[in-house]
Amino acid sequence: QQTGEGSHAVLLLPGMLGSGQTDFGPQLKSMNKQLFTVVAWDPRGYGKSIPPSRDFPPDFFERDAKDAVDLMQALKFKKFSLLGWSDGGITALIAAAKYPNLIHKLVVWGANASVTQEDVRIYNGIRDVSKWSEKVRKPLEELYGHKYFAETCEAWVDGISRFAENSDGNICQQLLPDIKCPTFIIHGEKDPLVPQAHAEYIHKHIKGSRLLLMPEGKHNLHLRFAKDFNREVENFLR
């Protein structure tokens, strides 16, 4: 999906099972269309990018990062900024580190550069989609059908939990010092899925980055507090 005709191109990167339409409604609708050209993509196996079916090989974040950059280049954007939520934040960190000449600015929220045993416990708590709240579950069931949604969520839990077997549970910690673009990290202090230590670690290891804590924010702070979020992000991107 693409909206706006501004000179500053921005790619929105969704979270697990996410897509432009389910994850970024308020950003597609309300971000400044004079300043920005906003692109939301569905990573392979998610949203409308099916087939292929989604899978989680050990390098799935690197694969998404390359796909995202390839997409923006195919759309003829020479330089662009990244807004990454959750898994999309991890993808954005990797893209910014690996393709520094292409990335203008970086915003991540609900992201983590490693997986701890505590994280694995949290992930297993969302493994069974029938236990999700209806509000979160319904749009995804409508998008995917129950079977694909349930199976892909389980596969994601298995895929992301495997990082905990690496030393330090590493996903992309070694890449953070390679991120040279201006970086803005946002974290909801009430995020039940991503402990605050992850945001602090990313902030500490990306030189010159800025960290904003939202006291009432949960994991979906960009939806729940869309107006505040959009304002903060637009000011950073200007």
Active-site residue list: 86, 191, 219
Question: Which residues, 6+ apart, have CB-to-CB distance to 88 below 8 Å?
Answer: 12, 13, 14, 15, 18, 23, 43, 64, 111
Cα 98 to Cα 175: distance, rounded to the nearest angstrom: 8
C-alpha Rg value of the chain to the nearest Å: 16
Question: Which residues, 6+ apart, have CB-to-CB distance to 189 below 8 Å?
Answer: 196, 213, 214, 215, 216, 217
The alpha carbon dihedral of 39, 37, 70, 203 has a sign of: negative
